[in-house]
């Protein structure tokens, strides 16, 4: 009886010892995000929208400064303040929406690779001192 219990314990202990390291993957999230085409496109789009907003502000300021009548100037300031606020909110909302979509895409890619590789756990490589299989390059290639 003792031999059976001993064999069972050895078998189970050996099984845990060999299965755990193979089921952990690591990802350099910063590198994946930096390499993501969706994130790159979003940055370019955001820069363009901010440039458009800045040009709008400059043109509005010129028009306000050119107005001689103080009452009309005040009305123009109020008008442009509302428009600028609306445009800025729209830019921010668009960026947040597309940023979340890019994040979901990256997360889904990591999840798919983890499932395909039979990884039970995926951690940021910053949180792991030793061990685990780095799947960063695989995630980057899959995201292209």
Contact (CB, 8 A) for 136 and 109: no
Q: Does domain 24-143 have CATH number 1.10.287?
A: no
* pLDDT values of the chain reduced to their tens digit, one per residue, 144 residues: 444 544 444 455 544 444 444 589 999 999 999 999 999 999 999 999 999 999 999 999 999 999 888 898 999 999 999 999 999 999 999 999 999 999 999 999 999 999 998 998 898 888 888 888 888 888 888 887
Give 110's strand partners.
none
Q: Which helix (H) or strand (E) holds 123?
A: strand 121-124
CA 106 to chain centre: 7
Contact (CB, 8 A) for 106 and 36: yes
Query: What residue spans define the domains of the chain?
Result: 24-143
């Amino acid at each position: 009886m003792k031999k059976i219990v001993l064999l069972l314990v050895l078998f189970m202990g050996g099984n845990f010892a060999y299965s755990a390291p193979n089921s952990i993957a690591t990802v350099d999230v910063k590198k994946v995000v930096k390499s993501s085409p969706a994130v790159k496109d979003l940055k370019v789009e955001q820069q363009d929208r901010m440039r458009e907003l800045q040009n709008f502000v400059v043109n509005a300021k010129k028009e306000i400064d050119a107005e001689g009548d103080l009452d009309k100037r005040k009305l123009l300031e109020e008008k442009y303040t509302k428009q600028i606020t609306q445009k800025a909110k729209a830019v921010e909302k668009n960026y947040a929406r597309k940023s979340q979509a890019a994040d979901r895409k990256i997360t889904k890619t990591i999840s798919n690779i983890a499932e395909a590789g039979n990884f039970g756990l995926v951690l940021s490589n910053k949180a792991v001192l030793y061990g685990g299989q780095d799947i960063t390059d695989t995630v980057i290639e899959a995201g292209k």
